[in-house]
């Protein structure tokens, strides 16, 4: 309402900047209501005005809003990329608030994907930036989001501490729009610690606050959390009521993640009520949607529920498979609470299937995790945190005055000593930093010079080899003897194969090794064009497992490949109208490379020996194999196949 009035006022006053921001705030309102098409139209309108005004900050606000829209629509990759771009642009234009927002949202996406360590890293960086620009609202939100991550990891004391910090900030600043969210997640922490009374108390406070401000997003979350609490109290009808409300709100808001969670929770209630078919339909549909959204956390819970469903249908093999998949995924995501439940269910399912040894193993794992959650000391610590928060809130003013007095006394007493100490330390630190920086610059400069020199060497070697190849080519024009001309031509191909390696080395960043698969592709293309036989259509197939070889291995192996491929193109398909050449480089079970060149041509005579070959090409192959400390074998069954192990 206020945004609409601001828009009309800005239009009347011809205030384009005010109009642009009003459109942006209206778009944000539509985004919170799940009306994405209308939101997009208002963002387009706002962006047009900001571009006209060349307002960089406004354009970055729009870009952040578009990234949020993609996030809510489930396009996590696009959203993360746009937030990353905004992060760079906010640094470039010195816009710390937008930088904080981008860092927080990137952390949120990483949390959703189960990358908890990465999420915490982004949250910590954002929190440090908040301290420098004094944004209490964002501080509160980051404390809340950090608490949610700690809850996933099973660090309930840390989670409660962080969420209580956010409550303290929201209450102090009177942020009534976000305070209920903090109550929501504090209730969730109490739920996972099996403190149902406190859980329901906080969730009711959250629901009341969200209804007062008309926040359907938060209310949908609160309804899901309430459903969980009542389900554990065996009040299935109440749980179903809250889950249906949550599902209805999620669909109204186009909240895909919320819809998946609500469907799963509703499926769990149907499972409790013995409605197996209904539960199966909902759980499989939510699994499909979670995979499309790449929501790994939801996938863990759905696999767990499907495991329970199959257990109750006495399909123990399928149940154990689903539960183990859920467990592996929960381990990879560090989901403490889910891991505990999965181990408990595995113990029960193994017991039913008659595998008592496995049942005991998983029961011990469950008991260990459960004892951690239910320890009276941990509950006492969380209660103490809450009591401490309430006490601090009541005595904050007195404590602040006392602290101020003490600080003043210490400051007057130690001011001179502190000044001298800080000055000395500062001088030492600056000197140390200067020395480190100078050494770093010198090393960096030396490395850059070496890199440039190496690239220049490879470039010159390549040019020299190309010159030799060109001289051989010119020389071949004056040779009348076909055998001599062929020998010169083969020498030219050998030189080309070495030149190609040096060319690839100076064209890439890393100078110590090359992508041998890419090299083989270029080498075969060169030989194929040079030895093309119009009477035979020869196809080649390359299979290389992204092998990267150093120059000492790549050059001899490249020459070996050159010799064997030329032989294949020249002799393998005489008298035939088509053929295939297969080239592969893979590692075997002993971590050695297997290099194979095979054709389906006429084959070599059976009496030929590689070590005693009369032709220069095969003798060269034998010498080069010894150079790379390898072994060579060949077969003439169904064509010719050379296998080199090194």
Instruction: State pLDDT tens for residues 114-171.
Output: 788 888 899 888 888 887 777 888 888 889 899 988 888 878 888 888 888 888 888 8
**b/e 148-185 (16+ beta carbons within 10 angstroms → b):** bbbbbbbebbbbbbbbbbbbbbbeeeebeebbbbbbbb
Cα separations in angstroms, 624 against 522, 552, 614: 21, 11, 16
* Inter-residue contact 326 to 303 (CB < 8 Å): yes
pLDDT of the residue at 395: 47
Alpha helices (runs of H) in 174-215, residue ranges in sequence order: 179-192, 196-213
CA distance 473 to 442: 46
**For residue 194, how far is the Cα from the chain centroid?**
32
Query: Distance between CA atoms of 455 and 236, rounded to whole angstroms?
Result: 72
Q: Percentage of the chain surpassing pLDDT 70?
A: 77
If we measure between CA atoms, which residue out of 374, 412, 417, 569 comes closest to residue 489?
569
Phi, psi for 644 (deg, rounded to 5): -115, 125
Find all residues with CB under 8 Å of 533, minimum gap 6, and list them.
569, 573
**At a CB cut-off of 8 Å and minimum separation 6, what does 67 contact?**
78, 79, 82, 83, 86, 105
Average pLDDT of the residues of the chain: 79
HEC assignment per residue over 619-641: HHHHHHHHHCCCEEEEECCCCEE
User: 570: which DSSP letter?
Assistant: I
- Judge contact between 190 and 159, C-beta under 8 A: no
CA atoms within 13 A on the CB side of 210: 20
pLDDT of residue 567: 82
Closest C-alpha to 513, from 501, 525, 523, 530 = 501
- CATH T-level fold of 516-645: Heat Shock Protein 90 (3.30.565)
Residue 456, pLDDT > 60, answer no
Q: Which of 32-36, 57-61, 239-243, 380-384 has the least mean pLDDT?
A: 380-384
Element spanning 54, H or E: none
| Residues 170-188 pLDDT 10s | 888 888 888 888 888 888 8
Residue 334 falls in which region: left (phi positive, over 0), alpha (psi -120 to 50) or beta: left
More confident: 520 or 401: 520
How far apart, in whole angstroms, are the C-alpha atoms of residue 108 and residue 141?
Answer: 11
542 vs 523: CA distance, rounded Å = 11
* Stated pTM of the model: 0.51
């Amino acid at each position: 309402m206020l945004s609409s009035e601001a828009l009309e006022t800005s239009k009347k006053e011809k205030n384009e900047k005010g109009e642009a921001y009003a459109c942006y705030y209206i778009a944000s309102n539509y985004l919170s209501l799940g009306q994405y098409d209308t939101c997009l139209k208002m963002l387009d309108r706002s962006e047009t005005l900001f571009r006209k005004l060349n307002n960089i900050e406004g354009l970055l606000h729009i870009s952040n809003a578009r990234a949020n829209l993609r996030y809510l629509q489930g396009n996590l990759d696009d959203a993360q990329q746009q937030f990353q771009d905004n992060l760079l642009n906010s640094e470039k234009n010195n816009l710390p608030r937008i930088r904080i927002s981008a860092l927080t949202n990137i952390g949120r996406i990483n949390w959703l994907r189960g990358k908890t360590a990465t999420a915490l890293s982004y949250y910590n960086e954002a929190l440090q930036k908040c301290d420098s620009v004094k944004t209490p609202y964002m501080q509160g939100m980051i404390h809340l989001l950090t608490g949610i991550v700690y809850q996933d990891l099973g660090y309930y004391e840390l989670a409660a501490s962080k969420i209580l910090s956010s409550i303290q900030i929201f209450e102090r600043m009177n942020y009534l729009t976000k305070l209920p969210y903090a109550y929501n997640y504090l209730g969730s922490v109490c739920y996972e610690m099996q403190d149902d009374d406190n859980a329901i108390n906080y969730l009711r406070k959250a629901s009341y606050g969200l209804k007062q401000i008309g926040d359907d997003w938060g209310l949908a979350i609160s309804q899901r959390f309430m459903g969980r609490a009542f389900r554990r109290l065996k009040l299935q009808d109440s749980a179903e009521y809250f889950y249906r409300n949550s599902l209805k709100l999620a669909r109204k808001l186009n909240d895909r993640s919320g819809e998946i969670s609500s469907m799963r929770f509703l499926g769990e209630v149907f499972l409790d009520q013995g409605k197996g078919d209904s539960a199966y339909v909902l759980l499989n549909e939510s699994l499909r949607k979670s995979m499309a959204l790449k929501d790994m956390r939801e996938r863990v819970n759905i696999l767990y529920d499907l495991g329970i469903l199959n257990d109750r249908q006495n399909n123990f093999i399928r149940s154990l498979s689903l539960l183990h998949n859920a467990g592996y995924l929960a381990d990879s995501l560090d989901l403490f609470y889910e891991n505990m439940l999965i181990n408990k269910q595995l113990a029960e399912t193994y017991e039913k299937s008659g595998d008592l040894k496995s049942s005991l193993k998983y029961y011990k794992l469950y008991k260990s995790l459960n004892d951690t959650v239910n320890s009276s000391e941990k509950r006492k610590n969380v209660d103490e945190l809450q009591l401490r928060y309430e006490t601090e809130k009541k005595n904050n003013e007195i404590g602040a005055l006392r602290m101020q007095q003490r600080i003043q006394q210490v400051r007057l007493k130690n001011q001179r000593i502190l000044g001298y100490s800080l000055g000395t330390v500062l001088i030492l630190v600056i000197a140390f930093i200067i020395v480190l920086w100078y050494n770093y610059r010198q090393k960096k400069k030396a490395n850059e010079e070496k890199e440039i020199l190496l690239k220049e060497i490879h470039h010159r070697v390549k040019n020299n080899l190309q010159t030799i190849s060109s001289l051989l080519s010119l020389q071949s024009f004056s040779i009348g003897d076909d055998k001599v001309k062929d020998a010169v031509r083969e020498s030219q191909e050998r030189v080309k194969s070495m030149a190609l390696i040096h060319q690839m080395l100076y064209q890439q960043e890393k100078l110590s090794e090359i992508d041998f698969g890419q090299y083989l592709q270029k080498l075969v293309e060169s030989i194929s064009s040079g030895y093309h036989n119009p009477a035979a259509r020869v196809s080649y197939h390359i299979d290389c497992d992204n092998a990267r070889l150093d120059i000492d291995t790549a050059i001899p192996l490249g020459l070996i490949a050159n010799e064997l491929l030329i032989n294949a193109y020249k002799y393998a398909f005489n008298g035939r109208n088509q053929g295939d050449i297969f080239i592969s480089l893979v590692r075997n079970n002993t971590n050695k490379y297997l290099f194979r060149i095979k054709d389906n041509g006429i084959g070599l005579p059976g009496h030929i020996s590689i070590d005693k070959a009369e032709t220069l090409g095969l003798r060269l192959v034998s010498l080069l194999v010894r150079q790379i400390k390898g072994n060579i074998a060949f077969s003439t069954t169904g064509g010719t196949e050379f296998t080199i192990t090194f």
